[in-house]
Amino acid sequence: MSNADLANLSDKLMLTTVVMYIIALVAYAADLGFGRRRAAVAEQAEAKVLVGAAGAEATESAEAAPGVDDAPERPAVDWIRLAVLLNVLGWGAHLGVLVTRGLAANRWPWGNMYEFLTAISFAAVTAFIVVMIRYKAQFLGAFVMAAAVIALGVANIWLYDSVGPVSPALNSYWIAIHVTAAIIATGSFTVAGAATILYLVKDRAESRGKVAAGGVLSRVPSVENLDRLSMRVTMFAFPIWTAAIIMGAIWADQAWGRYWGWDPKEVWSFITWVIYAAYLHARATAGWKGRKAAILSMVAFAALMFNFFGVNYMFSGMHSYA
C-alpha cells in the first residue's frame, strides 16, 4: 500500500472515529439520564478498593453499605453497554488513524498540531478507558467523549495538514520520547479535569439542595469519590509531565545548544508544572481537599490548555505554530 493510500485510509478512519465517539457520547449521556442508578454501585466498588487491604471484615462491611441495590433495575436499553462498545470500537479506529498516518509519513505521527491534537485525544480516551475499568467511572464517559469529539473536530476543521515531512529540528528520536510523554500526561490531565469539573458541578448543586433523587447528578458518585479520582489521575500524570519537561530540556540542548532558553512553551510548561505540584503538595501536606483543591486543579488545567492552544498560536518561539 502506497503512502497516499495509507494517508487516505487514515482520513477515513478519522471519520469513523468521530462518528463512533459521537454515538458513544449520546449513549453515555442517555445512561446518565435514563439508565439504572449507578452511583451506589460505583460507591461500593470504591469502598472495596479502599478497604481491600483491611481484611475480610472491612470488605464485608463495605459490601453491606446502605443504599446499594442488590439488583438494580435494568433499563429497557442498556445504554452503558452500547456506549462502552462504541467507545472501544472508536478507540480502535482512533489507533488506526495514528498508525496509518505514521506509516504514511514514515515518522512518528505527531509532527504538527493536527497530529498532536489527534494523539492527545487518543491519550485522553485511553486514560478514560483505564479509569473506567479500574474505578467503574462510566459516569465520566459523556464528558470525555465530548472533549474528544470537540478536539477532533477542531483538528479536522481548522488544523488539518496533509501528510508530509517534519522540520529538521523535529526529525529526532526525541520526538518519540519527549512528545509522547507530553501527550500521555496531557490526555491523563484531561480526564482528571473532567472529574474535577463534575465535582464542582455536583458540590455546588448539593450546597444549594438541587440534587434531585433520580436526577443526573444522583447517578454519579459522591463528591468525595470524585475528588479522590481526580487526585489519583493527577498523581499518575504529574511524574510523566515532569519527565517530559526534563527530556525536552535535554533535546533542546542537542538541537539548539541550550537546556533552557525561556521560550514561551518552556515557560508555560514550567508554570503548569508548578501549579500541579502546588495542588499535590497542598493535598499531601496541608490536607487540602474538596472545593479548594478542585479550584487549584482547575487553575492548573487552564494553564495546561493555554500552554497547548494559546502559546502555540499567540506567541512566537521555537515551539510556536503561529
Q: What is the distance between the alpha carbons of residues 145 and 143, in angstroms, rounded to a whole number?
A: 5
Q: Mean per-residue pLDDT for 214-230?
A: 86
Residue 74 above 90 pLDDT? Answer: no
Do 142 and 33 contact (CB within 8 A), yes or no?
A: no
**How confident is residue 62, by pLDDT bands cut at 50, 70 and 90?**
very low
Count of the separate structural domains present in the chain: 2
Looking at the structure, tell me whether residues 143 and 247 fall in a common domain: no
Tell whether 319 is covered by a domain: yes
CA-based R_g, the chain, Å: 21
Tell whether 2 is covered by a domain: yes
Q: Mean per-residue pLDDT for 249-272?
A: 89
Tell whether 275 is covered by a domain: yes
For residue 84, the enclosing domain spans: 1-37+73-166
Looking at the structure, tell me whether residues 161 and 259 fall in a common domain: no
508554570: which residue's cell? 271
Chain-centre distance of CA 292, in angstroms? Answer: 22
Looking at the structure, tell me whether residues 186 and 160 fall in a common domain: no
Q: What is the distance between the alpha carbons of residues 19 and 28, in angstroms, rounded to a whole number?
A: 14
pTM for the full model?
0.85
Tell whether 235 is covered by a domain: yes
pLDDT tens figures, 161-198: 999 888 777 778 888 899 999 999 999 999 999 999 99
pLDDT tens figures, 250-259: 988 888 888 8
pLDDT tens figures, 288-305: 888 999 999 999 999 999
Contacts of 156 (CB under 8 A, 6+ apart): 14, 18, 114
Looking at the structure, tell me whether residues 264 and 160 fall in a common domain: no
Q: What is the distance between the alpha carbons of residues 287 and 293, in angstroms, rounded to a whole number?
A: 9
Tell whether 297 is covered by a domain: yes
Tell whether 61 is covered by a domain: no
Q: What is the distance between the alpha carbons of residues 267 and 186, in angstroms, rounded to a whole number?
A: 16
**How confident is residue 53, by pLDDT bands cut at 50, 70 and 90?**
very low
Looking at the structure, tell me whether residues 102 and 198 fall in a common domain: no
Tell whether 65 is covered by a domain: no
- Domain boundary among the residues 166, 196, 213 is at 166
pLDDT tens figures, 85-139: 999 999 999 999 999 999 999 999 988 899 999 999 999 999 999 999 999 999 9
Looking at the structure, tell me whether residues 138 and 234 fall in a common domain: no
Q: What's the pLDDT at 257?
A: 85
Tell whether 47 is covered by a domain: no
Looking at the structure, tell me whether residues 102 and 33 fall in a common domain: yes
Do 259 and 267 contact (CB within 8 A), yes or no?
A: no
User: 223-256 and 291-305 helices cross at what angle (nearest 10)?
Assistant: 30
Looking at the structure, tell me whether residues 162 and 25 fall in a common domain: yes
